[in-house]
Chains A and B, each alone.
Chain A
Amino acid sequence: MNLTLKVWRQKNASDAGHFESFQVADVSKDMSFLELFDILNERLINEGKEPVAFDHDCREGICGMCSMYINGRAHGPWDETTTCQLHMRAYNDGDTITVEPWRAGAFPVIKDLTVDRRSFDRIIEAGGYISVNTGNAVDANAIPINKTDADAAFAAAACIGCGACVAACKNSSAMLFVSAKVSQLALLPQGQPERKERALNMVAQMDKEGFGSCTNTGACEAECPKGISLTNIARLNREFIGAGFSKED
């Protein structure tokens, strides 16, 4: 296949940025989307030009590092698929593909398609944990957990922290990400003691980082590569309201 790539180029955080077009010939359908960029970069290096900077590491859809906004969709056209798992079978000869970084105030661009997502770490820091020091634990089977709850906690815990939900949202809201962690811990008995503070503190940090508010458009769920469900947001809202009321008591 021969393709046209329109790629966002931005030297650093303070550069204004622009699109640059490339023709890429002989693309194999078996390639992954990131391998297409490998080939482009190899060529740019050989031509003495600057390769395109993009984030990636595991290339198996689990580390959450890859983050391309492809033809208007976070992680591209395939459902529940990260950029690194997307394969060129999704495209046809002659296609034009526009590739941009995640765009959100809380994810400043570092270079080209690479953004800074440390705001997510700071949200976890605000309460996305259970306070238990090493060595404090009781026997693992001393706390039986209903399988339905355990499975639901796992489903929420599957979030890879990629930020596609933020990129997909017109408000740049991080609600899906935050709600996934709040839900996981709220569903488990171990998470109960800190339940209220957790919801309040994580939401406060989210606001402080400059993520927008949630208006329930559902774009996040549609683009999430791990199928994190909107029910988590509903649960976070309940947690948050519940925590707010009991705080005022």
Chain B
Amino acid sequence: MLNAKIPAGPLETKWSKYKSTVKLVNPANKRKIEVIVVGTGLAGASAAASLAELGYKVKAFYFQDSPRRAHSIAAQGGINAAKNYQNDGDSVFRLFYDTVKGGDYRAREGNVHRLAEVSAAIIDQCVAQGVPFAREYGGLLSNRSFGGTQVQRTFYAAGQTGQQLLLGAYSALQRQVALGNVTLYSRHEMLEVVKVDGKARGIIARDLISGKIERHFGHAVLLCTGGYGNVFYLSTNAMGSNVTAAWKAHKQGAFFGNPCFTQIHPTCIPVSGDHQSKLTLMSESLRNDGRIWVPKKQNDNRKASDIPEDERDYYLERRYPAFGNLVPRDVASRAAKERCDAGYGVGASKLAVYLDYAEAIERYGKIEVGKRGLTNVPKDEIIRMGKEVVKEKYGNLFDMYAKITGENPYETPMRIYPAVHYTMGGLWVDYELMTTIPGLYCLGEANFSDHGANRLGASALMQGLADGYFVIPYTIGNYLADDIQTKAISTDHPAFVEAENSAKAILEKFINIKGKHSVDHFHKALGKIMWDKCGMARNEQGLKEAIEEIKALREEFWKDVRVPGTLDEFNPELEKAGRVADFLELGELMCIDALNRRESCGGHFREESTDEGEALRDDDNFAYVAAWEFKGQSNYELHKEELVFEIVHPSKRNYK
């Protein structure tokens, strides 16, 4: 049985008690301890900066040219925190409760409560760094509601919250670089974890410009390498987002938690053709005002404007009258798929639904008329005023839509379709964020913790920064306090040599295959299998087929991939090959996990486990974290971490 090391005692005091009793490392010893941080997104940059401030010697690695370009930069909507600035009844408990419930009761109570506890301090820290959050006229911080919550607890900076938070963490990081406490390794890709006597003691990384393979020692290693949504090829993730660091750690003994838990976001711009390389998210906030519909008639080829009101099916409002267009992401995504699969989709591909602002524009226009005390205003004038209001609220999103599609969303309804967005699964970690390899930690989206089977909007940014600013600085001390006698291990140690050789062997193999197909060819094929059979809806037969298909594809990849160029130069195709090779293994494990979990929960929808078409959870048999141990190619052993709910009692999520 896996031990998550959750401190004993009442939920509200677990973290404070842990903090006041945890082992500490004295400042003189900290200076002798080296910590490797892989990744400089919100989790990595905040961890690296905070640990350096404490006095540890930090080395930070990332594959982009600057730490500021990590994928966190793209987060749009906002970050949650239990500040209760709006006096609308929010509290640490409510944020905790909403997160456990929103995760469909597949997250740990102890972790989630800690997350809610530290959330307020995150906002304080960011403001102190100069993060320009949105403000009211009185000069105080503004909040919005997000993702259907009943309180306004989301802090935001226009549609660029992730950018502003990351630039804050990045500035803290650069300050530590200037002080000599952090060394940056830009355009470096981690290829292997190095273990000495069972503990993580370093990494092997490739300098992407020169191609040189390097060995780096650390007393501890932190993986903050983000999510693996790109296993689906098309997703809202950045092109470089990958699973390599986590996967290599997995193969070295770190268990992988709930790999099949994927979040599919309902409001993305649909695929426009075979050339499509990524998908663009349209912020969830658009569902606050937009109405989602499809024609009532199948295969209706009329233009949206030619379809009269009574021939439109506002299917979310019809199926879920209580929540309407604001149902959670997983529910909204599946409902869109259901309509399209049944032949009601719109646009050239028929894989899209309408998100319509016509009514909101008119409503806002009328409000303006009222505010300005006007009378006898013609309709087109009302519409014009309404458009002004909508532009102020959502202008940047509407512009983005127009650039990508060439259509004007103020005039015609937007076409949207669900897309892969976030991965709740990741490396299994205990309460201290340590993986099953001693000394190897995992933070941010790369770990499996906190969001259960479905993440609520605006809580990934919160978790990444909680892990980096406020959790790891305490928990790492508990491990390193026993390590102060350990001298830096020479990178000539056989463990380093061996890890380097195995990393090199893989790279050489890629170049030497000289096959017929590009890396992208295989990536696209994998993506299609995953999307069709391990995507929004899953069933036993499909998953079994997918496992066989992935195995076959993997074999073909290793026989027939073509990677141009050489090892000792800047070679983006070689980087891609390494990432896709790992996705080809991860994809199989995701299907194995999805097959094992014969229940529907959160983003994981098993067609066999439903009740009147709605997802049906099975708490008697599946209230556990599935943590998989790598035992060799295609061979994984399941370990279960039982989930105990002392405070929040699992109930059925009902949005009707």
| Residues of A near any B CB (own CB < 8 A) | 11-12, 28-32, 34-35, 38-39, 42, 44-46, 48-51, 53, 55-65, 78, 81, 85, 87, 89, 110-111, 114, 116-118, 120-121, 124-126, 128-141, 143-147, 150-151, 153-154, 157-158, 160-161, 184-185, 188, 190-191
Given contacts A28-B272, A45-B562, A87-B404, 12 further A-B contacts (CB under 8 A): A39-B275, A49-B564, A50-B565, A55-B65, A125-B175, A129-B130, A130-B129, A132-B125, A133-B50, A137-B128, A144-B138, A147-B137
Mostly, the A contact residues are loop
Given A134-B49, A153-B132, answer yes or no on A51-B573 (Cβ-Cβ < 8 Å). Answer: yes
How many residue pairs between the two chains, A and B, have CB atoms under 8 Å in the bound complex? 219
Given A125-B174, A132-B129, A137-B127, answer yes or no on A85-B277 (Cβ-Cβ < 8 Å). Answer: no
Closest 10 A/B residue pairs (Cβ): A144-B139, A129-B171, A137-B128, A137-B124, A154-B132, A140-B127, A134-B50, A30-B272, A57-B238, A153-B132
Given A147-B135, A184-B132, answer yes or no on A161-B272 (Cβ-Cβ < 8 Å). Answer: no
Given A45-B564, A85-B403, answer yes or no on A121-B275 (Cβ-Cβ < 8 Å). Answer: no
Using C-beta atoms within 8 Å of the partner chain, give the interface range for chain B: 35 or more
Is B178 on the interface with A (CB-CB < 8 A)? yes
Instruction: Check if B128 sits within 8 Å of A32, measured CB to CB.
Output: no
Is B23 on the interface with A (CB-CB < 8 A)? no
Residues from chain B with a CB closer than 8 A to the CB of A85 are 400, 403-404
Instruction: Check if A136 sits within 8 Å of B273, measured CB to CB.
Output: no
Given A111-B570, A125-B177, A145-B139, answer yes or no on A190-B275 (Cβ-Cβ < 8 Å). Answer: no
Instruction: Check if B67 sits within 8 Å of A121, measured CB to CB.
Output: yes
Residues from chain B with a CB closer than 8 A to the CB of A11 are 569
Which partner residue on chain B sits nearest A154 by CB separation? Answer: B132
Given A38-B520, A62-B163, A145-B139, answer yes or no on A118-B130 (Cβ-Cβ < 8 Å). Answer: no
Residues from chain B with a CB closer than 8 A to the CB of A117 are 65-66
Given A38-B520, A63-B69, answer yes or no on A157-B167 (Cβ-Cβ < 8 Å). Answer: yes
| Residues of B near any A CB (own CB < 8 A) | 46, 49-50, 53, 64-69, 71, 73-74, 83, 85, 121, 123-130, 132-141, 157-158, 160, 163-164, 167, 170-172, 174-175, 177-178, 184, 186, 209, 238-240, 272-273, 275-278, 280-281, 400, 403-406, 469-470, 473, 518, 520-521, 562, 564-565, 569-570, 572-573
Instruction: Check if A62 sits within 8 Å of B83, measured CB to CB.
Output: no
Residues from chain A with a CB closer than 8 A to the CB of B178 are 125-126
Given A46-B518, A132-B129, A190-B127, answer yes or no on A121-B174 (Cβ-Cβ < 8 Å). Answer: yes
Residues from chain B with a CB closer than 8 A to the CB of A49 are 564
Given A45-B562, A50-B564, A134-B469, answer yes or no on A144-B157 (Cβ-Cβ < 8 Å). Answer: no
Measured between alpha carbons, how far is A39 from B196 in the docked complex, in Å? 45
- The residue from A51, A55, A57, A141 contacting B140, defined by CB atoms under 8 A apart: A141
Which partner residue on chain B sits nearest A26 by CB separation? Answer: B275
